[in-house]
Structure 1
Amino acid sequence: MNKKFIAFLLCGLIPILSLPLSAQTPSDSSRLKPAPYAIGLQLGSTGIGLQAARVLSKDARWVGRVGVSYFSYDQVLRVKAGEGKLNITPDLVVGIALASVKWHPFKRNQLFVTGGAGYTWRPDLRANVIPEGNVKFGGLQIAEENAGVINASLRWNSVLGYAGFGYGRSTPIRRLGFAVELGCYYIGSPKVDLQYTGFLETTTIDEQLPVIQNNLRGYRFLPSLQFLVSYGLFRK
Protein backbone atom coordinates (compact mmCIF):
# COMPACT_ATOMS: atom_id res chain seq x y z
CA MET A 1 0.00 0.00 0.00
CA ASN A 2 1.27 3.49 -0.87
CA LYS A 3 2.96 5.11 2.17
CA LYS A 4 1.50 8.56 1.39
CA PHE A 5 -2.00 7.06 1.32
CA ILE A 6 -1.47 5.39 4.72
CA ALA A 7 -0.18 8.66 6.22
CA PHE A 8 -3.17 10.54 4.79
CA LEU A 9 -5.54 7.92 6.18
CA LEU A 10 -4.01 8.06 9.65
CA CYS A 11 -4.12 11.86 9.74
CA GLY A 12 -7.80 11.73 8.87
CA LEU A 13 -8.78 8.93 11.23
CA ILE A 14 -6.96 9.90 14.41
CA PRO A 15 -8.89 13.16 15.07
CA ILE A 16 -12.17 11.32 14.51
CA LEU A 17 -11.21 8.40 16.74
CA SER A 18 -10.31 10.75 19.59
CA LEU A 19 -13.80 12.26 19.77
CA PRO A 20 -16.08 11.15 22.63
CA LEU A 21 -19.14 9.09 21.82
CA SER A 22 -21.87 11.64 21.15
CA ALA A 23 -24.61 9.57 19.53
CA GLN A 24 -26.16 8.81 22.92
CA THR A 25 -26.78 10.71 26.14
CA PRO A 26 -25.08 9.79 29.45
CA SER A 27 -28.29 8.12 30.59
CA ASP A 28 -28.32 5.99 27.42
CA SER A 29 -24.72 4.93 28.02
CA SER A 30 -25.49 3.71 31.52
CA ARG A 31 -28.71 1.94 30.47
CA LEU A 32 -27.73 0.33 27.17
CA LYS A 33 -24.96 -2.20 26.76
CA PRO A 34 -23.49 -3.81 23.66
CA ALA A 35 -25.13 -7.04 22.53
CA PRO A 36 -23.33 -10.12 23.90
CA TYR A 37 -22.93 -11.58 20.42
CA ALA A 38 -22.90 -10.26 16.86
CA ILE A 39 -22.37 -11.31 13.28
CA GLY A 40 -20.92 -9.01 10.69
CA LEU A 41 -20.13 -8.45 7.03
CA GLN A 42 -16.71 -6.98 6.23
CA LEU A 43 -15.34 -5.49 3.02
CA GLY A 44 -11.81 -4.28 2.42
CA SER A 45 -8.39 -4.80 0.90
CA THR A 46 -8.42 -8.57 1.58
CA GLY A 47 -11.81 -8.99 -0.06
CA ILE A 48 -15.24 -9.73 1.36
CA GLY A 49 -15.80 -11.72 4.52
CA LEU A 50 -17.91 -12.74 7.49
CA GLN A 51 -17.19 -12.21 11.17
CA ALA A 52 -18.66 -13.43 14.48
CA ALA A 53 -17.93 -11.67 17.77
CA ARG A 54 -18.57 -12.23 21.49
CA VAL A 55 -18.16 -9.90 24.46
CA LEU A 56 -15.56 -11.31 26.89
CA SER A 57 -15.84 -8.88 29.83
CA LYS A 58 -18.68 -7.29 31.83
CA ASP A 59 -17.74 -3.79 30.74
CA ALA A 60 -17.65 -4.95 27.06
CA ARG A 61 -14.16 -3.56 26.59
CA TRP A 62 -12.76 -6.99 25.64
CA VAL A 63 -14.25 -8.72 22.60
CA GLY A 64 -13.25 -12.00 20.94
CA ARG A 65 -13.96 -12.63 17.30
CA VAL A 66 -13.40 -15.07 14.46
CA GLY A 67 -13.79 -14.42 10.78
CA VAL A 68 -12.93 -15.36 7.24
CA SER A 69 -12.27 -13.23 4.14
CA TYR A 70 -11.70 -14.03 0.48
CA PHE A 71 -10.34 -12.22 -2.59
CA SER A 72 -9.25 -13.50 -6.01
CA TYR A 73 -7.89 -12.01 -9.22
CA ASP A 74 -7.06 -13.79 -12.50
CA GLN A 75 -7.51 -11.24 -15.29
CA VAL A 76 -4.94 -11.45 -18.11
CA LEU A 77 -2.49 -8.54 -18.33
CA ARG A 78 -0.92 -7.70 -21.69
CA VAL A 79 2.43 -5.93 -21.53
CA LYS A 80 4.20 -4.57 -24.60
CA ALA A 81 7.70 -6.04 -25.10
CA GLY A 82 9.33 -4.82 -28.28
CA GLU A 83 7.24 -5.69 -31.31
CA GLY A 84 5.26 -8.29 -29.40
CA LYS A 85 3.47 -8.67 -26.11
CA LEU A 86 3.72 -10.67 -22.92
CA ASN A 87 0.43 -12.20 -21.80
CA ILE A 88 0.64 -12.43 -18.01
CA THR A 89 -2.06 -14.48 -16.28
CA PRO A 90 -1.94 -13.97 -12.51
CA ASP A 91 -3.45 -16.48 -10.10
CA LEU A 92 -3.97 -14.48 -6.91
CA VAL A 93 -6.14 -15.80 -4.09
CA VAL A 94 -6.23 -14.17 -0.64
CA GLY A 95 -8.18 -16.46 1.67
CA ILE A 96 -7.67 -15.79 5.39
CA ALA A 97 -9.26 -17.24 8.52
CA LEU A 98 -8.56 -15.02 11.55
CA ALA A 99 -9.10 -15.25 15.32
CA SER A 100 -8.41 -12.10 17.31
CA VAL A 101 -9.16 -10.13 20.47
CA LYS A 102 -10.20 -6.47 20.56
CA TRP A 103 -9.60 -4.14 23.49
CA HIS A 104 -11.34 -0.77 23.96
CA PRO A 105 -8.95 1.23 26.20
CA PHE A 106 -11.53 3.97 26.88
CA LYS A 107 -14.92 3.16 28.37
CA ARG A 108 -16.85 5.90 26.54
CA ASN A 109 -14.95 5.79 23.26
CA GLN A 110 -15.15 3.20 20.50
CA LEU A 111 -11.43 3.34 19.69
CA PHE A 112 -9.89 -0.15 19.87
CA VAL A 113 -6.66 -2.04 19.35
CA THR A 114 -6.58 -5.68 18.29
CA GLY A 115 -4.25 -8.60 17.79
CA GLY A 116 -4.52 -12.22 16.75
CA ALA A 117 -3.41 -15.02 14.45
CA GLY A 118 -4.68 -16.32 11.14
CA TYR A 119 -4.31 -19.05 8.56
CA THR A 120 -4.31 -18.83 4.77
CA TRP A 121 -4.90 -21.85 2.56
CA ARG A 122 -3.33 -20.17 -0.50
CA PRO A 123 -0.20 -18.36 0.73
CA ASP A 124 1.18 -17.72 -2.75
CA LEU A 125 1.02 -15.55 -5.84
CA ARG A 126 1.33 -17.38 -9.14
CA ALA A 127 1.75 -16.05 -12.64
CA ASN A 128 1.97 -17.61 -16.10
CA VAL A 129 3.79 -15.64 -18.83
CA ILE A 130 3.28 -16.49 -22.51
CA PRO A 131 4.84 -14.37 -25.28
CA GLU A 132 2.88 -13.22 -28.33
CA GLY A 133 4.88 -12.24 -31.38
CA ASN A 134 8.57 -11.30 -31.38
CA VAL A 135 9.43 -9.99 -27.93
CA LYS A 136 12.41 -8.18 -26.49
CA PHE A 137 14.22 -9.26 -23.27
CA GLY A 138 16.99 -6.98 -22.00
CA GLY A 139 17.59 -5.57 -25.47
CA LEU A 140 17.55 -9.00 -27.16
CA GLN A 141 14.96 -9.63 -29.88
CA ILE A 142 13.51 -13.14 -29.50
CA ALA A 143 11.17 -14.93 -31.87
CA GLU A 144 7.90 -16.18 -30.42
CA GLU A 145 8.78 -19.85 -31.02
CA ASN A 146 12.03 -19.45 -29.05
CA ALA A 147 10.74 -17.38 -26.14
CA GLY A 148 9.09 -20.27 -24.27
CA VAL A 149 6.76 -20.09 -21.27
CA ILE A 150 7.42 -18.89 -17.73
CA ASN A 151 5.61 -20.12 -14.60
CA ALA A 152 6.57 -18.15 -11.49
CA SER A 153 5.33 -18.12 -7.92
CA LEU A 154 5.97 -16.36 -4.62
CA ARG A 155 5.03 -18.34 -1.51
CA TRP A 156 4.57 -16.95 2.02
CA ASN A 157 3.82 -18.55 5.40
CA SER A 158 0.48 -20.28 5.96
CA VAL A 159 0.27 -19.11 9.59
CA LEU A 160 -0.06 -15.33 9.98
CA GLY A 161 0.23 -12.81 12.78
CA TYR A 162 -2.07 -9.79 12.91
CA ALA A 163 -2.22 -6.42 14.70
CA GLY A 164 -4.35 -3.35 14.09
CA PHE A 165 -6.51 -0.55 15.45
CA GLY A 166 -9.77 1.07 14.52
CA TYR A 167 -13.03 2.67 15.58
CA GLY A 168 -16.40 1.00 16.19
CA ARG A 169 -17.84 -1.99 18.01
CA SER A 170 -17.95 -5.61 16.89
CA THR A 171 -21.07 -6.04 19.07
CA PRO A 172 -23.21 -2.92 18.63
CA ILE A 173 -25.21 -1.05 21.26
CA ARG A 174 -28.02 -0.51 18.76
CA ARG A 175 -29.18 -3.29 16.49
CA LEU A 176 -26.66 -2.33 13.79
CA GLY A 177 -23.09 -1.18 14.24
CA PHE A 178 -20.35 0.12 11.96
CA ALA A 179 -16.57 -0.04 12.30
CA VAL A 180 -13.40 0.71 10.36
CA GLU A 181 -10.11 -1.05 11.01
CA LEU A 182 -6.56 -0.56 9.77
CA GLY A 183 -4.10 -3.37 10.40
CA CYS A 184 -1.29 -5.50 9.05
CA TYR A 185 -0.62 -9.22 8.66
CA TYR A 186 2.87 -10.63 9.15
CA ILE A 187 3.29 -13.19 6.36
CA GLY A 188 7.05 -13.84 6.43
CA SER A 189 9.59 -13.52 3.63
CA PRO A 190 8.47 -14.98 0.28
CA LYS A 191 10.11 -17.98 -1.35
CA VAL A 192 10.60 -17.80 -5.11
CA ASP A 193 9.91 -20.65 -7.53
CA LEU A 194 10.55 -20.31 -11.25
CA GLN A 195 9.81 -22.84 -14.00
CA TYR A 196 10.50 -22.00 -17.64
CA THR A 197 11.17 -23.24 -21.16
CA GLY A 198 12.74 -21.67 -24.25
CA PHE A 199 15.22 -18.79 -24.18
CA LEU A 200 15.67 -18.70 -20.40
CA GLU A 201 17.08 -22.24 -20.45
CA THR A 202 20.24 -20.82 -22.08
CA THR A 203 20.77 -18.27 -19.29
CA THR A 204 22.11 -18.43 -15.71
CA ILE A 205 18.88 -17.20 -14.15
CA ASP A 206 18.84 -20.13 -11.68
CA GLU A 207 21.98 -18.69 -10.11
CA GLN A 208 20.17 -15.37 -9.63
CA LEU A 209 17.16 -16.82 -7.77
CA PRO A 210 18.82 -16.53 -4.30
CA VAL A 211 19.57 -12.86 -5.05
CA ILE A 212 15.97 -12.25 -6.18
CA GLN A 213 14.62 -13.95 -3.05
CA ASN A 214 16.93 -11.90 -0.84
CA ASN A 215 15.73 -8.67 -2.49
CA LEU A 216 12.13 -9.63 -1.69
CA ARG A 217 12.73 -10.03 2.06
CA GLY A 218 11.05 -6.69 2.73
CA TYR A 219 7.69 -7.97 1.45
CA ARG A 220 6.84 -9.62 4.77
CA PHE A 221 3.72 -7.61 5.58
CA LEU A 222 0.23 -7.45 4.09
CA PRO A 223 -1.63 -4.19 4.93
CA SER A 224 -5.35 -4.48 5.63
CA LEU A 225 -8.12 -1.88 5.59
CA GLN A 226 -11.57 -3.18 6.52
CA PHE A 227 -15.07 -1.78 6.89
CA LEU A 228 -17.53 -3.75 9.04
CA VAL A 229 -21.32 -3.75 9.42
CA SER A 230 -22.39 -5.83 12.44
CA TYR A 231 -25.76 -7.05 13.73
CA GLY A 232 -26.30 -7.60 17.46
CA LEU A 233 -27.67 -10.94 18.71
CA PHE A 234 -29.33 -12.19 21.92
CA ARG A 235 -29.92 -8.77 23.39
CA LYS A 236 -31.64 -8.93 26.79
Structure 2
Amino acid sequence: MNKQSTFLFFTVLLAISSLRGLAQSDFKANPAPAPYSVGLQLGTTGAGIQLARVLTPDSRLIGRVGVSYFAYNRPFRVKAGEGKLHITPDLVMGIALASVKWHPFKTNPFFLTGGAGYTWRPDVKANLVAEGKVKFGGLEISEENVGVINANLRWRNALGYAGLGYGRSTPVRRLGFAVELGCYYLGAPTVDLQYTGFLETTTIDEQIPVIQNNLKNYRFLPSLQFLVTYGLFRRK
Protein backbone atom coordinates (compact mmCIF):
# COMPACT_ATOMS: atom_id res chain seq x y z
CA MET A 1 0.00 0.00 0.00
CA ASN A 2 1.54 3.34 -1.03
CA LYS A 3 1.60 6.50 1.10
CA GLN A 4 -1.42 8.06 -0.63
CA SER A 5 -3.56 4.94 -0.14
CA THR A 6 -2.49 4.65 3.49
CA PHE A 7 -3.34 8.30 4.16
CA LEU A 8 -6.75 7.90 2.47
CA PHE A 9 -7.48 4.73 4.46
CA PHE A 10 -6.70 6.28 7.84
CA THR A 11 -8.57 9.49 6.93
CA VAL A 12 -11.72 7.47 6.28
CA LEU A 13 -11.29 5.50 9.53
CA LEU A 14 -10.86 8.71 11.52
CA ALA A 15 -13.92 10.31 9.94
CA ILE A 16 -16.06 7.22 10.52
CA SER A 17 -15.02 6.92 14.17
CA SER A 18 -15.80 10.59 14.82
CA LEU A 19 -19.23 10.30 13.21
CA ARG A 20 -20.18 6.94 14.69
CA GLY A 21 -21.31 8.07 18.13
CA LEU A 22 -23.44 10.94 16.85
CA ALA A 23 -25.00 8.96 14.02
CA GLN A 24 -25.86 5.91 16.14
CA SER A 25 -27.39 8.08 18.85
CA ASP A 26 -29.63 9.65 16.21
CA PHE A 27 -30.82 6.25 15.05
CA LYS A 28 -31.60 5.06 18.58
CA ALA A 29 -33.11 8.28 19.90
CA ASN A 30 -35.44 8.90 16.99
CA PRO A 31 -35.42 6.54 13.97
CA ALA A 32 -37.53 8.91 11.86
CA PRO A 33 -35.29 11.38 10.00
CA ALA A 34 -36.41 14.43 8.07
CA PRO A 35 -38.14 13.45 4.80
CA TYR A 36 -35.97 15.87 2.77
CA SER A 37 -32.60 17.52 3.18
CA VAL A 38 -30.13 19.79 1.43
CA GLY A 39 -26.44 19.08 1.84
CA LEU A 40 -23.03 20.60 1.15
CA GLN A 41 -20.20 18.27 0.18
CA LEU A 42 -16.44 18.71 -0.03
CA GLY A 43 -13.93 16.18 -1.23
CA THR A 44 -11.56 14.98 -3.92
CA THR A 45 -13.96 15.86 -6.75
CA GLY A 46 -14.42 19.41 -5.46
CA ALA A 47 -17.25 21.19 -3.70
CA GLY A 48 -20.91 20.56 -4.37
CA ILE A 49 -24.51 20.50 -3.26
CA GLN A 50 -27.06 17.70 -3.13
CA LEU A 51 -30.73 17.19 -2.38
CA ALA A 52 -32.02 14.02 -0.73
CA ARG A 53 -35.41 12.44 -0.13
CA VAL A 54 -36.55 9.44 1.94
CA LEU A 55 -38.07 6.85 -0.41
CA THR A 56 -39.43 4.21 1.99
CA PRO A 57 -41.41 4.28 5.27
CA ASP A 58 -38.53 2.73 7.22
CA SER A 59 -36.16 5.49 5.95
CA ARG A 60 -33.58 2.95 4.81
CA LEU A 61 -33.73 3.89 1.13
CA ILE A 62 -32.74 7.43 0.14
CA GLY A 63 -32.76 9.09 -3.29
CA ARG A 64 -30.22 11.82 -4.08
CA VAL A 65 -29.38 14.27 -6.84
CA GLY A 66 -26.40 16.60 -6.76
CA VAL A 67 -23.63 18.45 -8.57
CA SER A 68 -19.95 18.98 -7.77
CA TYR A 69 -17.25 21.13 -9.33
CA PHE A 70 -13.46 21.28 -9.28
CA ALA A 71 -11.02 23.31 -11.44
CA TYR A 72 -7.24 23.65 -11.62
CA ASN A 73 -5.23 25.65 -14.18
CA ARG A 74 -2.13 26.85 -12.32
CA PRO A 75 0.97 26.78 -14.61
CA PHE A 76 4.21 25.12 -13.51
CA ARG A 77 7.71 24.60 -14.93
CA VAL A 78 9.80 21.45 -15.35
CA LYS A 79 13.58 21.64 -15.81
CA ALA A 80 14.81 20.01 -19.04
CA GLY A 81 18.53 20.46 -19.66
CA GLU A 82 19.54 24.13 -19.71
CA GLY A 83 15.97 25.24 -20.27
CA LYS A 84 12.53 24.59 -18.86
CA LEU A 85 9.20 23.32 -20.07
CA HIS A 86 6.30 25.64 -19.22
CA ILE A 87 3.18 23.54 -18.68
CA THR A 88 -0.32 24.97 -18.29
CA PRO A 89 -2.88 22.37 -17.21
CA ASP A 90 -6.60 22.79 -17.84
CA LEU A 91 -8.54 20.54 -15.50
CA VAL A 92 -12.25 21.07 -14.91
CA MET A 93 -14.26 18.39 -13.16
CA GLY A 94 -18.00 19.06 -13.21
CA ILE A 95 -20.25 16.13 -12.27
CA ALA A 96 -24.04 15.84 -12.02
CA LEU A 97 -25.06 12.65 -10.22
CA ALA A 98 -28.30 10.83 -9.33
CA SER A 99 -27.92 8.01 -6.82
CA VAL A 100 -29.73 5.82 -4.29
CA LYS A 101 -28.49 5.09 -0.76
CA TRP A 102 -29.41 1.92 1.10
CA HIS A 103 -29.00 1.42 4.86
CA PRO A 104 -28.86 -2.38 5.26
CA PHE A 105 -29.08 -2.17 9.07
CA LYS A 106 -32.04 -0.50 10.76
CA THR A 107 -30.11 0.95 13.71
CA ASN A 108 -26.78 1.60 12.01
CA PRO A 109 -25.94 4.56 9.71
CA PHE A 110 -23.66 2.51 7.46
CA PHE A 111 -24.85 2.67 3.84
CA LEU A 112 -24.20 1.43 0.32
CA THR A 113 -24.88 3.63 -2.69
CA GLY A 114 -24.93 3.49 -6.47
CA GLY A 115 -25.99 5.72 -9.33
CA ALA A 116 -25.24 7.29 -12.67
CA GLY A 117 -24.16 10.74 -13.76
CA TYR A 118 -22.93 13.10 -16.42
CA THR A 119 -19.79 15.20 -16.68
CA TRP A 120 -19.65 18.12 -19.12
CA ARG A 121 -15.83 18.32 -19.13
CA PRO A 122 -14.57 14.72 -19.15
CA ASP A 123 -11.02 15.60 -20.10
CA VAL A 124 -7.61 16.76 -18.93
CA LYS A 125 -5.80 19.27 -21.15
CA ALA A 126 -2.26 20.62 -21.04
CA ASN A 127 -0.37 23.23 -23.07
CA LEU A 128 3.43 22.91 -23.26
CA VAL A 129 5.98 25.43 -24.52
CA ALA A 130 9.74 25.69 -24.03
CA GLU A 131 11.82 28.32 -22.26
CA GLY A 132 15.40 28.15 -23.53
CA LYS A 133 17.16 25.07 -24.89
CA VAL A 134 15.69 21.82 -23.65
CA LYS A 135 16.73 18.19 -23.83
CA PHE A 136 14.57 15.21 -24.80
CA GLY A 137 16.33 11.89 -24.32
CA GLY A 138 19.76 13.42 -24.83
CA LEU A 139 18.67 15.48 -27.84
CA GLU A 140 19.10 19.25 -27.35
CA ILE A 141 16.42 21.36 -29.04
CA SER A 142 16.12 25.12 -29.28
CA GLU A 143 13.13 26.99 -27.91
CA GLU A 144 11.87 27.82 -31.41
CA ASN A 145 12.08 24.22 -32.62
CA VAL A 146 10.18 22.80 -29.66
CA GLY A 147 7.10 24.67 -30.80
CA VAL A 148 3.78 24.28 -29.00
CA ILE A 149 2.28 21.03 -27.78
CA ASN A 150 -1.39 20.66 -26.81
CA ALA A 151 -2.34 17.33 -25.24
CA ASN A 152 -5.86 16.20 -24.41
CA LEU A 153 -6.91 13.08 -22.51
CA ARG A 154 -10.68 12.56 -22.80
CA TRP A 155 -13.18 10.17 -21.22
CA ARG A 156 -16.87 9.67 -22.01
CA ASN A 157 -19.56 12.01 -20.68
CA ALA A 158 -21.75 9.37 -19.03
CA LEU A 159 -20.40 7.70 -15.89
CA GLY A 160 -21.36 5.18 -13.25
CA TYR A 161 -20.84 5.40 -9.51
CA ALA A 162 -20.72 3.03 -6.53
CA GLY A 163 -19.66 3.64 -2.95
CA LEU A 164 -20.17 3.12 0.76
CA GLY A 165 -20.17 5.39 3.76
CA TYR A 166 -21.29 6.27 7.25
CA GLY A 167 -23.94 8.81 8.19
CA ARG A 168 -27.32 10.01 6.97
CA SER A 169 -28.38 12.13 4.01
CA THR A 170 -31.58 13.14 5.83
CA PRO A 171 -30.71 13.83 9.47
CA VAL A 172 -32.78 13.14 12.58
CA ARG A 173 -31.61 16.38 14.14
CA ARG A 174 -31.53 19.60 12.18
CA LEU A 175 -27.93 18.95 11.08
CA GLY A 176 -26.32 15.71 10.00
CA PHE A 177 -22.83 14.59 9.00
CA ALA A 178 -21.56 11.80 6.75
CA VAL A 179 -18.42 10.52 5.05
CA GLU A 180 -18.51 8.61 1.76
CA LEU A 181 -15.86 6.66 -0.13
CA GLY A 182 -16.70 5.72 -3.71
CA CYS A 183 -15.50 5.37 -7.26
CA TYR A 184 -16.67 6.70 -10.64
CA TYR A 185 -16.42 4.53 -13.75
CA LEU A 186 -15.34 6.71 -16.70
CA GLY A 187 -14.52 4.22 -19.44
CA ALA A 188 -11.23 4.04 -21.33
CA PRO A 189 -9.72 7.43 -22.31
CA THR A 190 -8.79 8.65 -25.79
CA VAL A 191 -5.69 10.72 -26.59
CA ASP A 192 -5.56 13.79 -28.82
CA LEU A 193 -2.22 15.46 -29.55
CA GLN A 194 -1.78 18.72 -31.49
CA TYR A 195 1.70 20.14 -32.02
CA THR A 196 4.08 22.29 -34.00
CA GLY A 197 7.89 22.22 -34.14
CA PHE A 198 10.21 19.21 -33.98
CA LEU A 199 7.41 16.70 -33.33
CA GLU A 200 6.21 17.28 -36.89
CA THR A 201 9.36 15.47 -38.08
CA THR A 202 8.71 12.39 -35.93
CA THR A 203 6.36 9.40 -36.15
CA ILE A 204 4.60 10.25 -32.88
CA ASP A 205 1.15 10.01 -34.56
CA GLU A 206 1.79 6.31 -35.05
CA GLN A 207 2.41 5.96 -31.31
CA ILE A 208 -0.92 7.48 -30.20
CA PRO A 209 -2.80 4.13 -30.43
CA VAL A 210 -0.05 2.58 -28.30
CA ILE A 211 -0.38 5.38 -25.74
CA GLN A 212 -4.17 4.91 -25.63
CA ASN A 213 -3.75 1.18 -25.11
CA ASN A 214 -1.33 1.81 -22.22
CA LEU A 215 -3.89 4.14 -20.61
CA LYS A 216 -6.90 1.84 -21.04
CA ASN A 217 -6.87 0.83 -17.37
CA TYR A 218 -7.31 4.45 -16.23
CA ARG A 219 -11.09 3.98 -16.18
CA PHE A 220 -11.80 4.75 -12.54
CA LEU A 221 -11.85 7.94 -10.48
CA PRO A 222 -11.76 7.41 -6.66
CA SER A 223 -13.81 9.81 -4.57
CA LEU A 224 -13.74 10.74 -0.88
CA GLN A 225 -16.50 13.11 0.24
CA PHE A 226 -17.50 14.75 3.51
CA LEU A 227 -21.13 15.86 3.77
CA VAL A 228 -23.04 18.24 6.02
CA THR A 229 -26.85 18.05 5.68
CA TYR A 230 -29.74 20.20 6.84
CA GLY A 231 -33.11 18.52 7.40
CA LEU A 232 -36.19 19.97 5.70
CA PHE A 233 -39.89 19.55 6.60
CA ARG A 234 -39.13 17.60 9.75
CA ARG A 235 -41.90 15.50 11.21
CA LYS A 236 -43.34 16.85 14.44
| TM-score normalised per structure 2 | 0.93
Partner of 1:123: 122
Aligned CA distance change for structure 1 residues 231 and 15 (closer, same or farther; 3 Å): closer
Q: Is the 8 A contact 2:23 2:168 kept in 1?
A: no
Alpha-carbon separation, structure 2, partners of 1:91 and 1:107: 45
Q: Is the 8 A contact 2:96 2:117 kept in 1?
A: yes
Partner of 1:70: 69
Aligned CA distance change for structure 1 residues 56 and 196 (closer, same or farther; 3 Å): same
**Structure 2: gaps of 5 or more residues:** none
1:100-150: CA deviation from partner (whole Å, max 9, x where unpaired): 000000111100000000100000000000101101111100011111110
Quote the offset at 1:12 in angstroms: 5.4
Matched, 1:4 2:6: yes
Quote the offset at 1:68 in angstroms: 0.0
Partner of 2:148: 149
Aligned CA distance change for structure 1 residues 104 and 24 (closer, same or farther; 3 Å): closer
**Percentage identity across aligned positions?**
70
**Displaced runs of 4 or more, over 6 A:** 13-20
Which letter does structure 2 place at the counterpart of 1:200?
L
Aligned CA distance change for structure 1 residues 86 and 210 (closer, same or farther; 3 Å): same
Alpha-carbon separation, structure 2, partners of 1:21 and 1:68: 25
Alpha-carbon separation, structure 2, partners of 1:166 and 1:89: 36
Aligned CA distance change for structure 1 residues 148 and 61 (closer, same or farther; 3 Å): same
1:3-40: CA deviation from partner (whole Å, max 9, x where unpaired): 333444566567778879543595x23xx510000000
Q: Is the 8 A contact 2:47 2:69 kept in 1?
A: yes
Alpha-carbon separation, structure 2, partners of 1:185 and 1:49: 16
Aligned length: 233
**Matches for 1:158-177 after TM superposition, within 5 Å:** 158-177=157-176
**Matches for 1:39-118 after TM superposition, within 5 Å:** 39-118=38-117
Could you say what the CA RMSD is over the residues aligned between the two structures, in angstroms? 2.0
**Structure 1: gaps of 5 or more residues:** none
Quote the offset at 1:218 in angstroms: 1.2
Aligned CA distance change for structure 1 residues 21 and 132 (closer, same or farther; 3 Å): closer
Secondary structure of the 2:25 match is coil
Q: Is the 8 A contact 1:76 1:89 kept in 2?
A: yes
